[in-house]
A and B are shown apart, each in its own frame.
Chain A
Amino acid sequence: EAGVAQSPRYKIIEKRQSVAFWCNPISGHATLYWYQQILGQGPKLLIQFQNNGVVDDSQLPKDRFSAERLKGVDSTLKIQPAKLEDSAVYLCASSFGGSSSTDTQYFGPGTRLTVL
């Protein structure tokens, strides 16, 4: 079974530029998550989709971050404009069911973003 795919793996941009990350979840997984992992910290949830609807985006900085999952499969996370503090690893995860508490989330390899 293929895992969660993410691209690019690394990205270096200058502040005020824009950047986009792509995620393709495990086939058949209804729920997709984007996390931000700052160096030395655990992952923090940015947004959660169930199929193509947003379940929770309460921690997404909506003035600069946006995300979509138009067809209920792959997803794109965008930052525009980027700030220095956005330097982090952006992790995508997926789980089979809905928002069940018992579902295991499976993570992709992440995209390491460096903002100069």
Chain B
Amino acid sequence: AQSVAQPEDQVNVAEGNPLTVKCTYSVSGNPYLFWYVQYPNRGLQFLLKYITGDNLVKGSYGFEAEFNKSQTSFHLKKPSALVSDSALYFCAVRDGSDYKLSFGAGTTVTVRA
């Protein structure tokens, strides 16, 4: 069975500071990892994914994520946060042998001006 944990319900940062949203996963096969963002009353927007290759993945809106196999983590990062990055962020995982996408519970990011 596959699962995702987002250990922080909320992350608060000041604008201009680095932003990190944590994600750990558990799969039996090869992990395929995704990050989505959800703004109020909107659907989920795709940010980036890791399938294979370089452990550092770059995505939309200046976000990047680092895949760490030994720590089973896929943390989302942004070097300089903007107030407009305030939203709900979801990490999701697929086991390489399964097509189902499992989501974490989400992390609410608040960036203060």
Contacts and interface: CB of A to CB of B under 8 A. Distances in A.
A110 B51 contact: no
A100 B32 CA distance: 11
Interface residues of B, number: 27
A45 B43 contact: no
Interface of A: 4, 6, 40-45, 48, 55-56, 91, 93, 99-102, 104-110, 112
Contacts, number: 57
Interface stretch (B11-19, B66-74, B93-101): B93-101
B99 A43 contact: no
A101 B105 contact: no
Contact of A42 (B51, B97, B99, B105): B105
B80 interface: no
A25 to B, nearest CB: 13
A106 B95 contact: no
26 contacts: A4-B43, A6-B43, A40-B105, A41-B105, A42-B4, A42-B92, A42-B103, A42-B105, A43-B44, A43-B103, A45-B100, A55-B99, A56-B99, A91-B43, A93-B44, A99-B99, A100-B99, A101-B32, A102-B49, A105-B101, A107-B36, A107-B44, A108-B43, A109-B43, A110-B42, A110-B43
Given A40-B105, A42-B90, A101-B32, A106 B96 contact: no
Q: Binding site of A, secondary structure by majority: helix, strand, loop or mixed?
A: loop
B104 to A, nearest CB: 5
Contact of B99 (A4, A40, A101): A101
Contact of A104 (B49, B96, B105): B49
B43 A42 contact: no
A101 B95 contact: yes
A54 B47 CA distance: 28
